[in-house]
Amino acid sequence: MTEPKPGYTAASGSRLIQQEDPSAMAADTTLTCRDCGQQFTFTSGEQDFYAARGFSEPSRCPDCRAARKNERDSGSYGGGSRGPRQMFTATCAGCGGEAQVPFEPTAGKPVYCSACFQQRGGGGRAGFGARGGTRGSY
């Protein structure tokens, strides 16, 4: 068997595949941050790192990425503390008493107070099939 040409590797059959030259790194690229609008450099080393892991190129500068990560880690990202929940008053369809619910009641749909809701088997957090039913086949 003959050796493949330099810069190539043998593949299945007689096909040759050109190897990438590790010294031929991508050039640094200047990108614009989508949050602050500042330009930042996406270095060739960062490009290799992102490509090796299958990541797309960043759309935020390092400072905005760090700030966004801190928001996520502190729990204030996407909800966090939103203050007291608005409650609505409705008439319980079970006992006729007053019910306080965290949603605006819709006409024609029954609303139950906490006691009646529990009696009807609502609010079970025991997992799938908490009402005693069996899991259906798919």
Tell the residue number behind the tokens 């010294």, with chain if given: 23
Percent share of the chain, pLDDT over 90: 40
Q: Please give the model's pTM, rounded to 2 decimal places.
A: 0.39
pLDDT band at residue 86 using 50, 70 and 90 as cut-offs: confident
pLDDT band at residue 84 using 50, 70 and 90 as cut-offs: confident
The chain-wide mean pLDDT, for the chain, equals: 77
| pLDDT average, residue stretch 29-52 | 93
d(C-alpha 3, C-alpha 16), whole Å: 11
| Structure confidence at residue 62 (pLDDT) | 93
Rounded (5°) CA angle 11-14-15: 55
Please indicate whether residue 85 or residue 58 has the higher confidence score (pLDDT). 58
